[in-house]
Every structure is written in C-alpha cells, then in structure tokens.
Structure 1
Amino acid sequence: MRAFLEGAREKPQDDQGRRREDYQQVLVARLESKVRELTHALERNAELIAQNTQLLEQAQRRVRLLKAGSKVGRSIVSILDLDTLLKTTVDVICDEFGFYYAGVFLIDETGEWAVLKAGRGEAGAKMVAAGHKLKVDGHSMIGAATGQRKARIALDVGEEPVHFKNPYLPNTRSEMALPLIAGDEVIGAITVQSTEEAAFSDDDVTALQAMADQLAIAIRNARLHLQNQKLLAQTERRARLLAAAAKVGQSVTSILDLDELLSKTVDIICDAYGFYYAGVFLVDESGEWAVLKAGRGEAGAAMVAEGHKLKVGGLSMIGTAIRQKRARIALDVGEEPVHFKNPHLPHTRSEMALPLIVGSEAIGALTVQSTEEAAFNDDDVTALQAMADQLAVAINNAKLLKELESAHAELVQAKTFEAIATATGEAIHWVGNKAAPVPGSVARVTEDFARFIALASAVVEMLPPEAREHPFAQLLAESGEELARRGYPPQEIQAELGRFPLRRLRKMLTVESVFEDLEIIESSARSILNIKEDLIGPARKRKRTLVALDEMLTETVNSMGIPKEVVRMLFEDGLPPVWADRSQLSRVFINLIKNAMEAMYDSAEKRLFIWAR
C-alpha cells in the first residue's frame, strides 16, 4: 500500500487489472480526502488552542491588573496626607503593575495647568522640583486626558501626535494617561509609562481607570481632610488669639500709670501671643513723628534710650498704619516696600502694625513682629486690632489721668501762691517783728566782742617778752590788729573801759549777755526760716521720675571731681529704680558726699566708700 501511495504501481495487463487500478485510485482519492479533513481539523484545533491560550493569558492579566488595582486602592484610601498619598501612589503603581514610570498631575487653581505633584524615582523628583506642568487640553497625553475627560493610550509614542517628548524619560515607548475625576470635576491625571511598545490594552484602561477613580476619591478626601485640619487650626488659633486679647485687655485696662502701662503691655503681648518683639509708638505733639515709648527686651530698651522714632506717613509700617488708620501686614519683610529695616531686630521676617485709634484720632501704633514668614493672617488682624483698640483706650485713660494729676498739681500750686499772696502783708509784718531784734542784738554782740578782744590785747601787752611769743598771745595780738582795721581801735576801747571800776565793768561786759543776744538772733532766724518753708514749701514743684541710684551716684561723684583712687562704689546686682525728684535727690547726694569729704579734711589718706543695695 505504501508503495502504491508513493506511486509504485504496476501497469495492468488486462481488464481485471485496469479495474483494480481504477479501484485503487478511488481508494487513494478517498484517503487523500480523509487526510485533508484530518489536517484541517488539526489546524482548527491549533487555532482554538491558541485562542484559548490568549484568552487565558488575557484573563490572567486582567486578574493581575484587578488584584494590583485593588491593592493600590487599599494602600491609598487610608492615607489622608496629600503628599504622602501621591508619593505612595506612584510607587505602588510601578511596583504592582511593573511600569517604567508613573506620575500624578493635579490641576492648579487657574484650571489651566496640570502640575506634577509626584513622580517615580529620581526623574520624578527632578521634575517636581522643577515645577513641571502641562497645559490642560494641550499638546500632551496628560493635557488631552484632562481636557477630554477620558483615557488616552499611545502604543508607540514616536507615532503619537499629542505625546510630550520628556527629556527626563528617554526610554518611554508607550504611555497611558488616565483622568482623575471626582464627581463632575476633573482634578488631574495619572501617567503610566512603559519601555515596551504596545504595552497597554483596553483591559489595562479598564483596570487602571478603576484605580484612578479610587485615587481621585482619595485625593478629594485628603484635600477635605487638609481643609478640615486648616479650619480646625484656624478655629483653635482664633480662640487662642481671642483669649490672649481678653487677657491683654484685662491686664492693661487696670493700669493707669502711662509708663507702667506701656512697659507691661509689650511684655504681656509677647508672652500671650508668642511674638518675637512688640513695641508701642505714640504720636508726638507735632503730629509728625511716632516715638517709641516701650519695646520688648534689650532691643526695645536700646531703641527707647536712643529716642527711636518714625515719620508719620513715611516709609515704615508704623508710619503707614498711623496715616492710613488701618492695619498693615508684611508677610515677608524683605519684599515689603514700606518696611523699616531695623538693625536692633535682625531676625524679623514678618510684621504687623496696628493703629491705636481713639475716636477719630490715631494716637500711635503697635508693632508685633515674628521670626517666621507669613506669620499673620486676617484672623490675627481682627483679634489683635480688638486688643489694640482696648490698649488705645487704656493709653488715653492713662494720659487723661496724667493730665488730670498735672492740672490738679498746677491748681494746688496756683491756690498756694494765691494764699501766699493773700497772706503776704501779714507775713511781711510778722517777719518784720521777728527780724526787729536782730540788728540790736548783732550790734551788742559786735560791741561786746570788740571789748573782749581789746581787753585781751591789753593783757598781752602787759606780758613779758617771752610770754608774748606763745601762739595764743600771738593770735590775740593779730585779732587786735584785725579789729583796728575794721574800725574798732583797741586803744580807744581800752581808754573808754579804763574809766570804769571793776564792778561797773562786770555789769557792762558779760559772756551771758553775749549768749543772750546770740539766742535772740538764732530764734528770729529760725522763725523766719519756718515761715518761709510753711509758705513756699507746698508750692515747690516736684517732678517724680524713676531714678537709677547706681547711675545717679556715679554721675554725682564724677561731677564733683573726686579722684578715682579716693572713692569706691559697690552696687547690688538688680538694684531697682526709685521714684524721686531727680534734682532734689542729686542735691542730697552732693551734700552727703561733701560732708564726708570735709570730715576727712585733715586725713592723710582719704577713702570714700559708697554702697547701695
């Protein structure tokens, strides 16, 4: 049979042979037909097997895609921090789907640009840092997906008309862009890229779009969470600001002394609000300058001592706030055109100036400064302006009280002078009566003194020559000569007294009468001094200020020209200032030091020790 099929046939010699040949040909034809049918069946089975294999692979790929999408969904839906969510998303997509690159774009506030917020690997980090963005509905896969609200696939990016040739991703051969849609709003898009051509199919679109929809919901949730956190933080900050404003208000409204009020205000504000610096400026009498009256810390004290002031309406936050009567905020002082760059406050990064308004008049301004940029917002302005308004009222009250006290003092002084004027006639008459005995007493004391010196000179002249050399004798002789020069010649007085006996002389010249006359003079002088103090003392104007004792004592000693090696001063640390009239206290110190120096007049080694505690 094999030989027959292969063509090895014998030629028939007779009719029977020919019939046999015809039969064989029929058998061969039937056999060939069966072989063709079998071959065709085998080919059909092979096609079915290939189709089934392809379907199985597609089903397996779809299962893998769905599992990966489900895993991505589980990974991202629980993340509420937006940055963490986006970074996690691109990493999980590439890891689970095996893609070359993935990135998430979000549409900006203008709605015109899709901005890259997270990208896989070093390329993604560089593009995010560079602010990479693509035009919505522009010439890119992302632009087309966001503009048309549907997925776009580029099976060969070299042939895709809307593909953006990205220099950071040179190995991309195929790309898919999936829109992120939350509700009816397109909020962005995802790009997934592969190094293989035709790496994506419709099944990939279905699976990845489901994942993209989950991501869109997660992004919206993260945004809502962020908004809620911001609202909560704003609410808590507003509550703290209002509580601090109430505390400041309670503290400052109870202080009526202006200097104390301003000094404590800046400390209370910085402590309550946590600011770097606070200062209070008040407009001077000319209305042209805002003068710093109190500032926080060493910087504030140094500026107050320097007389720091800013032009009202000038190029400063304070000057502008006072002129415009409204708050000014500099979120970045380096970019603020009217910010005064203060060398005492080098760390200031943001500042707010709040006008102090009473009625319709701006009496000054409050500056608060922070070391952080953008440290203030509208809520801060509202809370702090309410506090500033309270402070303005407190300052005005303190000013009014000070003016009232000054007016009262002037009134008392005027009334005192009026009383003095009314009593002048009586006082002059009284003083005249008290002073009347003085000239007679002085004349008698002078006369008695001259007589005693004249008698002493006569006695000295009677002494032997050696006795006249005694210092006492010489002193008495010199006194006689001085008496003669003053118009009381001792010889004439001696001649006059020589006419009277001793009994008469004892009555004419006694020590007791001299002391009686001196007591009359002293009594009259004391009475006159007392009436002067009674009349003028209450009218004497006193100006009480805070005086630093260590500084005043140092100035007093230096002004008196006392050598440095003579005086030694010791002051206790933290010596508090005292309320006193500076000029009167200075006179007291001068008198005390002068008395001490006079007491050491005869000392060979003078030492003056001043100690204050």
Structure 2
Amino acid sequence: MARIESEDEFGLLARTFNRMTEQLLEFINTLEQRVAERTQVIEKRSAQLVTATEIGRAASTMLDVNQLIQETVNLIRNRFDLYYVGLFLLDDNHEYAILRAGTGKAGEILLARGHKIRVGEGMVGWAITHNRSRVALDIHEDATHKHIDELSETRSEAALPLRSRGEVIGALTVQSLQPGTFDEDSIAVLQTMADLISAAIANARLHTETENALQSARRAYSELSRKDWMTLLQSRPKLTFRSDYSGTNPSTGNWTAEMKRAWAAGRAVTIPAEETEDGIPKLAIPIKVRGNVIGVIQANKSEDAHTWADDELAMLETVVEQIGLSLDSARLYSDTRLQAQREHTMQEMTDKLHRALDMDELLQTLLQEVSDTLGIESAFVQLNTPSVTSKTTSRQFAE
C-alpha cells in the first residue's frame, strides 16, 4: 500500500492506487475461492461419475439380485458420503414398496422387521406413484417426508423411481445429515444410477427365471427319460454282457454285492483284494443317463493286483459317463425310428380306408389292417347298439 503524505495530487494518486490494490487483492481472494469451489464441484462430479461406472460394472457382472442391490446401496452411501441409502421393490400386488437393501445399523434393523411403505405414501411411495424423483432439501419443510425413528438424524432426502421396461419396479432413497445436499446435478447422476440398478435387477430376475425354467425342464426331461428307460429295461430284462479271455458275449450273471451298492449309492464302489473272497480287487461303476442310474458295469483286476489306482478309477468313470450318453442317444434313435415306422404304417392304413367304396369294404379293410399291423389272431366289429340288429363284421385269421 502507498503512504499518503499530502492532500495534493500525489496524495490523491496514492489513495487511488490503494483502492485499486484493495480491489485487486479482493478479486484475487475471491478468484481463489471460486476456483477452490469449482474444483470441489468438479471433484464431486468426477467421484459421482466414477461411482456410476462402478455400479454399471457391478450390474453387468452380478446375477444374484440380493447381493447386487446390497452392494449397490453400500457403494452409493460411501461414494456420496451419505447418511443412509435404501432400496425398495414393489410387491406382487403393487400395494407396498418393500425394503430389500439398506445401509448401516438402521438398514439392518429395518430389514429385520420387514420394513415396507404403502405406495403413494412418503417420499418413496410418491416417487413410485408419480414415476418422478422427489427431493426434500429440508425434511422439516416437506410434509411428504415420512419420519422413521431409526433415521432420526436425516435432514435432507431424495427418492428416485426404479424403472424397467417402462414400468416402475421400486424406488431408491438417499438421505443426508445436511440440509440442501441434493442439487439438480446430483439428482441427475443418482437417477442414472437408479436406471442402471433397475436394468441390472431386471436382468438378474430374468436370469433367475430362465435358470428355474431350465431346471424344471431338465427335471421333467430327466423324469421322462427315467420312465422311458424303465419301460425299455422291463421289455428287455436281460441286457447283460460279459467280457473275459474268451471274448464278449451275452450273459445271465446275477448282480453282485458291489454292483448293488453302486446302484443304490449312485457312485463308484471299489473293493480291495484283501476284502474279497477270491482275493481279486473289484470295481463297480453306475451307468447314468441324465442323473438316473440305468445299469452298472463291474471290472475285476488280475489276481496279482491289490487295488484300483486313482487314475484308473478316473479313466473308467469318464468312459462309463460316455457310455451313458451313447446309450441314451441309441435309445432316442431307436424311439425315433419306431415312431417313424408307426406313422408310416398309420398313413398306409388311412390311405387304404379312404379308398374303400362302401361300408362293408371299409369295415373289412379296417379289421384286416388292424389285425395285420398288431398281429391279432381274430377281430370283431359291430355297429349300432347291443339291443338293435346291426351290421356285424368278423374276421378270423389263421395261423
């Protein structure tokens, strides 16, 4: 600052210089404050965008809905330095928004008691009903805010709708200890996060539904396969073969104890040489098709061996697994061929019936075709009711 030693033109010049200096210093101080504030805003927005990216990454990798939403609310709370974050999802009747994830001790308490909010009530209910975000810069000045004892320190709150495929599925509540926390920019970023969460929840639900449907289909197909195999095995009860030094031939051998154990347990059974009567180590492995045991293969080692090595067991189990797949493929091929033969036979029979010119010829053709196709010794057909004399056609087939 310049010293003012006189009131002449030099003194006037000194005063003017001093005022300019004061204004310049004030401008510099103000500029530094503005730069600091702007830097803080930029850093805050950068952190928010990073958080949105992290949520997007988590949303694209997590398929467990509960894990996804809990980690998401924790991430938002930590990155935004908030007091509380909670996520609500609508029930099946769209009457209540049920808390599915909440941060901190308050979140644990609210989740434990099954906290829910009726749609249309409170900030969360309002956001769901109107499909718009609701912001209370000061909860004491917003009558929509719903007081919760466990969140008594809340001073500002924002509720954002969770939307998926054009429908509201829930809402996200974010709460702060400070009033006026949520400005337009913050709400825009938070809504982007809410949209990411909504898409992730929808994808996770779709994945779960698909997995459940797939498991149901597998169980149904496994049960169908089991019934088909039981029918096949009942029609061919002696599907048994034996391989030894003389070659591989059909066999009428009985089930051994180890084979029965393998069937019942559904896994390989090994018996070392010292536990067998003949001193030969034995191995029994169940043959499975879609999880159902349809048979057992037993293998015996030479008399000089003591037990089955792990690598031998692993190799045989792999081979038996492939046997199961091949057997099922062969059964399916046989069933398909048989079905094709039946359809061909039915088509030929239908063609012959259509060529019949009168009722007598039609009935005779019917009996002939049914008897030839099914190998029936004799057949009989009669029209009308038992009390009325009617046309009768009978056919006896000689052997």
Range class of TM-score, shorter chain: 0.5 to 0.7
2:10 maps to 27
CA spacing shift, 1:2–1:208, aligned 2, 3 Å: closer
Deviations 1:229-288, CA, capped at 9 Å, x for gaps: 11101211221333345466678999xxxxxxxxxxxxxxxx99xxxxxxxxxxxxxxxx
Rounded Cα–Cα distance in structure 2 between residues aligned with 1:122 and 1:55? 35
User: For the Cα contact (< 8 Å) 1:141–1:177, is it kept in 2?
Assistant: yes
2:38 aligns with one of 48, 55, 62: 55
Rounded Cα–Cα distance in structure 2 between residues aligned with 1:25 and 1:249? 124
TM-score by length of 2: 0.54
1:193 aligns with one of 164, 168, 175: 175
Q: How does 1:512-531 map to 2 (within 5 A)?
A: none
2:221 aligns with one of 239, 259, 266: 239
CA spacing shift, 1:153–1:241, aligned 2, 3 Å: same
CA spacing shift, 1:92–1:25, aligned 2, 3 Å: same
For residue 113 of structure 1, report the CA deviation from its aligned partner. 2.1
1:229 aligns with one of 201, 205, 211: 211
- Asked if residue 183 in structure 1 is aligned to residue 165 in structure 2, the reply is yes
Rounded Cα–Cα distance in structure 2 between residues aligned with 1:177 and 1:146? 9
User: For the Cα contact (< 8 Å) 1:103–1:116, is it kept in 2?
Assistant: yes
Amino acid at match of 1:44: F
Q: Which has the larger radius of gyration?
A: 1
For residue 107 of structure 1, report the CA deviation from its aligned partner. 1.6
- Asked if residue 131 in structure 1 is aligned to residue 120 in structure 2, the reply is no
1:479 maps to none
For residue 57 of structure 1, report the CA deviation from its aligned partner. 0.8
Amino acid at match of 1:209: Q
Stretches of 4+ moved more than 3 A in 1?
1-5, 24-27, 243-254
User: For the Cα contact (< 8 Å) 2:137–2:157, is it kept in 1?
Assistant: yes
Amino acid at match of 1:33: T
Deviations 1:435-478, CA, capped at 9 Å, x for gaps: xxxxxxxxxxxxxxxxxxxxxxxxxxxxxxxxxxxxxxxxxxxx
For residue 156 of structure 1, report the CA deviation from its aligned partner. 2.0
Counterpart of 2:150 in 1: which secondary structure? coil
Amino acid at match of 2:27: R
Size of the aligned set, in residue pairs, is 238
Counterpart of 1:104 in 2: which secondary structure? strand
Amino acid at match of 1:40: Q
User: For the Cα contact (< 8 Å) 1:77–1:215, is it kept in 2?
Assistant: no
User: For the Cα contact (< 8 Å) 2:4–2:11, is it kept in 1?
Assistant: no
Counterpart of 1:197 in 2: which secondary structure? coil
Q: How does 1:362-401 map to 2 (within 5 A)?
A: none
Rounded Cα–Cα distance in structure 2 between residues aligned with 1:2 and 1:111? 78
- Asked if residue 146 in structure 1 is aligned to residue 128 in structure 2, the reply is yes
- Structure 1: runs of 5 or more not aligned: 6-23, 255-270, 273-613
- Structure 2: runs of 5 or more not aligned: 237-262, 265-399
Higher helix share: 1
1:574 maps to none
2:51 aligns with one of 68, 89, 99: 68
Rounded Cα–Cα distance in structure 2 between residues aligned with 1:122 and 1:38? 55
Rounded Cα–Cα distance in structure 2 between residues aligned with 1:34 and 1:122? 61
- Asked if residue 166 in structure 1 is aligned to residue 154 in structure 2, the reply is no
For residue 213 of structure 1, report the CA deviation from its aligned partner. 1.6
Q: How does 1:474-489 map to 2 (within 5 A)?
A: none
Amino acid at match of 2:160: L
Rounded Cα–Cα distance in structure 2 between residues aligned with 1:101 and 1:153? 15
CA spacing shift, 1:121–1:38, aligned 2, 3 Å: closer
Deviations 1:287-312, CA, capped at 9 Å, x for gaps: xxxxxxxxxxxxxxxxxxxxxxxxxx
CA spacing shift, 1:128–1:253, aligned 2, 3 Å: farther
CA spacing shift, 1:3–1:69, aligned 2, 3 Å: closer
Counterpart of 1:103 in 2: which secondary structure? strand
1:106 aligns with one of 89, 107, 110: 89
TM-score by length of 1: 0.36
Counterpart of 2:98 in 1: which secondary structure? strand
- Asked if residue 80 in structure 1 is aligned to residue 63 in structure 2, the reply is yes
Percent identical: 34
Amino acid at match of 1:113: Y
Rounded Cα–Cα distance in structure 2 between residues aligned with 1:114 and 1:245? 46
Rounded Cα–Cα distance in structure 2 between residues aligned with 1:113 and 1:165? 17
- Asked if residue 220 in structure 1 is aligned to residue 205 in structure 2, the reply is no
Q: How does 1:194-593 map to 2 (within 5 A)?
A: 194-246=176-228
CA spacing shift, 1:239–1:171, aligned 2, 3 Å: same
Deviations 1:106-153, CA, capped at 9 Å, x for gaps: 1222223211111123322332232222233x2311112222222222
For residue 84 of structure 1, report the CA deviation from its aligned partner. 1.5
Counterpart of 2:193 in 1: which secondary structure? helix
User: For the Cα contact (< 8 Å) 1:76–1:88, is it kept in 2?
Assistant: no
For residue 226 of structure 1, report the CA deviation from its aligned partner. 0.7
2:325 maps to none
Q: How does 1:81-96 map to 2 (within 5 A)?
A: 81-96=64-79
User: For the Cα contact (< 8 Å) 2:134–2:158, is it kept in 1?
Assistant: yes
Amino acid at match of 1:197: P
1:342 maps to none
For residue 218 of structure 1, report the CA deviation from its aligned partner. 0.7
Amino acid at match of 1:73: G
Deviations 1:324-354, CA, capped at 9 Å, x for gaps: xxxxxxxxxxxxxxxxxxxxxxxxxxxxxxx
Rounded Cα–Cα distance in structure 2 between residues aligned with 1:239 and 1:222? 25
What's the C-alpha RMSD, in Å, of the aligned pairs?
Answer: 2.9
Rounded Cα–Cα distance in structure 1 between residues aligned with 2:131 and 2:183? 18
Rounded Cα–Cα distance in structure 2 between residues aligned with 1:173 and 1:249? 72
CA spacing shift, 1:40–1:118, aligned 2, 3 Å: same
Rounded Cα–Cα distance in structure 1 between residues aligned with 2:50 and 2:201? 21
For residue 204 of structure 1, report the CA deviation from its aligned partner. 1.8
Counterpart of 1:168 in 2: which secondary structure? helix
For residue 227 of structure 1, report the CA deviation from its aligned partner. 0.9
Rounded Cα–Cα distance in structure 2 between residues aligned with 1:131 and 1:2? 75
User: For the Cα contact (< 8 Å) 1:151–1:179, is it kept in 2?
Assistant: yes
2:22 aligns with one of 6, 25, 39: 39
User: For the Cα contact (< 8 Å) 2:5–2:11, is it kept in 1?
Assistant: no
Counterpart of 2:132 in 1: which secondary structure? coil
User: For the Cα contact (< 8 Å) 1:94–1:101, is it kept in 2?
Assistant: yes
2:102 maps to 119
Amino acid at match of 2:205: R
Counterpart of 2:15 in 1: which secondary structure? helix
For residue 171 of structure 1, report the CA deviation from its aligned partner. 2.0
Amino acid at match of 2:218: E
Return the structure number with greater relative CO, CA threshold 8 A, min gap 6.
2
Deviations 1:522-578, CA, capped at 9 Å, x for gaps: xxxxxxxxxxxxxxxxxxxxxxxxxxxxxxxxxxxxxxxxxxxxxxxxxxxxxxxxx
User: For the Cα contact (< 8 Å) 1:142–1:190, is it kept in 2?
Assistant: yes
